Amino acid sequence: MGPWDLVVPVREGVHNEPLRYALRSWAANLPHRHVWIVGFRPWWAAGARHIQTWQRGNPGYVNTTAAMRAACEHPEVSDPFVWCNDDFFVMRPQPEQLPVYHRGPVRELEQQVGPRSTPYLAEMRKTRDFLVGLGHEDPVSYDLHVPLPVEKVGMLLALDTAPGHDAHKRTVYGVLTGIGGTRMTDVKVQRRGPQFDTESPFLSTMPDSFANGAVGRLIRGAFPEPCPYESGRRR
């Protein structure tokens, strides 16, 4: 089997500099056949293939669920494919068939955050309860900010089974299909400071940490040249 396609959901908005540098990092370090942008394709990303979807605005989970389903149902997208976000940066060369990673048991993540609640944490707990109810007594979380290999039939089952758009669909997919994987710490860098692993093979950012932080400077410095997915017009 040759390299898989990369699929990335993109929200509306022409000025998406993280996507630009994510594409450059994938072109350099993540073997693949095609890149598919699902949703909104900026004019400058004309080199990527496109699946148009109707975006309903907030909440974003509705859009990403629709994008995942569209990719799984598209006959030209490879099976498996690799699911990415537009702020996933691959900083080191990866093998042709990307390994699976997870965050460890959901119960440990809950212990780390304690009793506080946000919409994200509420959905994490809801997803855990759902999986426990199906007999998965100690489910692990796949809600990492790194690319995830996806098999279409298994993901469609997860989307059809999960309790709502907000459910952690990566986790539902990983647990229901038993994909296993290697445990790792999440790579999301939320702040501007230099307190992150500069040698990490994967990085992810927030809008502010990318635009104004040390992690953004590192990423932009690592990939200064346009890649084949950008138009010939440099910014």
Contact assessment for residue 110 and residue 145, using Cβ atoms and an 8 Å cutoff: no
| pLDDT (average), residues 207-230 | 97
Mean pLDDT of the chain: 92
Name the band, by pLDDT with cuts 50, 70 and 90, for residue 234: very low
The answer to which of 45-59, 133-147, 157-171 has the lowest mean pLDDT is 45-59
Span 4-13, pLDDT tens digits: 999 999 988 7
Q: What element of type H or E holds 188?
A: strand 188-189
Span 22-74, pLDDT tens digits: 999 999 999 999 999 999 999 999 999 999 998 766 555 788 899 999 999 99
| pLDDT (average), residues 166-182 | 94
Residue 230 exposure: Cα atoms within 13 Å on the Cβ side: 22
Surface-to-core class of residue 224, CB atoms within 10 Å of its CB (0-12 exposed, 13-18 middle, 19+ buried): exposed
pLDDT reading at 165 higher than 60: yes
Q: What letter represents residue 36's amino acid?
A: W
Structural domains present in the chain: 5-222 (3.90.550)
| pLDDT (average), residues 86-112 | 95
Span 175-217, pLDDT tens digits: 999 999 999 999 999 999 999 999 999 999 999 999 999 999 9
- State the pLDDT at residue 235: 41
Contact assessment for residue 26 and residue 84, using Cβ atoms and an 8 Å cutoff: yes
- State the pLDDT at residue 114: 77
Surface-to-core class of residue 75, CB atoms within 10 Å of its CB (0-12 exposed, 13-18 middle, 19+ buried): exposed
Residue with the larger pLDDT of the pair 114 and 99: 99
Contact assessment for residue 146 and residue 187, using Cβ atoms and an 8 Å cutoff: yes
